[in-house]
Amino acid sequence: MRALKYFCALSSCTILVVFIAVRPDSAAQARQDKYTLKVPGGLAFSEFRGYESWQLISISHGGPVMAATLGNPVMIKAYMDGLPGNGKPFPDGAKMAKIHWSTKDLETLPGSTVPATQQNVDFMMKDSKRFADSGGWGWAAFEYDAKSDTFTLATTAAKPPQGNDAKCGFACHTTVKNRDYVFTSYGHR
């Protein structure tokens, strides 16, 4: 009898553990690891780990969207050395992240516009060997869904439409080939 009680208690614990492990709404399953995403043939989100704390290069505001462009230390040093204005190419390892948000009015200061919901993040990385056929740069664009707190690869349905390969930014950036394919200038401080 005692063995039967032990067996029943053990079975109940096993069922509970299995139930907790496979619950579809568990916190572990609800959270996305954005660093597992990768653009086909190109950049992985993991190559930009820590971008959220990179130094600000510049901000921009166009229509209902505002953006902050950030640079890793290699990119910031290149700007400090006079690029792209000095005509030299950015060094391999230079990386940029551009975060886009919808905008809203600041409640505490009328007439001021601030970021609201994040829309996406775009990445650019210089690797002249890996991306030789796209000016030495690789690009990636990831759409953000605030409801699910997840990122997905940008597509031609995105706003603006994006390819989802390493060359997704190349066609647009050819207009600034003379600046080593970089639009953004470093904002004076």
Question: Is the pLDDT score of 171 beyond 90?
Answer: no
User: Do strands 113-126 and 95-105 pair parallel, antiparallel, or not at all (unpaired)?
Assistant: antiparallel
Which tens digits make up the pLDDT trace of 15-47? Answer: 333 333 444 444 444 578 999 999 888 899 999
What residue has token string 């190419």?
89
Question: What is the percent of the chain where pLDDT is above 90?
Answer: 65
Question: What is the percent of the chain where pLDDT is above 70?
Answer: 80
Q: Note the pLDDT of residue 114.
A: 94
Beta-bridge partner residues of 114: 104
> Can the peptide bond before residue 161 be classed as cis, meaning omega within 30 degrees of 0?
no
Q: What is the pTM of this model?
A: 0.80
pLDDT band at 7 (very low <50, low <70, confident <90, very high): very low
Q: Note the pLDDT of residue 71.
A: 98
pLDDT band at 169 (very low <50, low <70, confident <90, very high): confident
Q: What is the residue-averaged pLDDT of the chain?
A: 84
Q: Note the pLDDT of residue 164.
A: 64
In sequence order, which residues have a C-beta less than 8 Å from that of residue 150 and are 6 or more positions away? 32, 34, 144
Q: Note the pLDDT of residue 172.
A: 87
- Write the DSSP assignment of 47-75 as a string of letters: GGTTGGGSEEEEEEEETTEEEEEEE-HHH
Residue among 169, 183, 185, 170 nearest 78 (CA): 185
DSSP state for residue 9 in the 8-state scheme: H
Q: Note the pLDDT of residue 1.
A: 52
B/e letters for 32-53, b = 16+ CB within 10 Å, e = fewer, are eebeebebeebbebebbeebee
Which tens digits make up the pLDDT trace of 114-168? Answer: 999 999 999 999 999 999 999 999 999 999 999 999 999 988 777 766 666 677 7
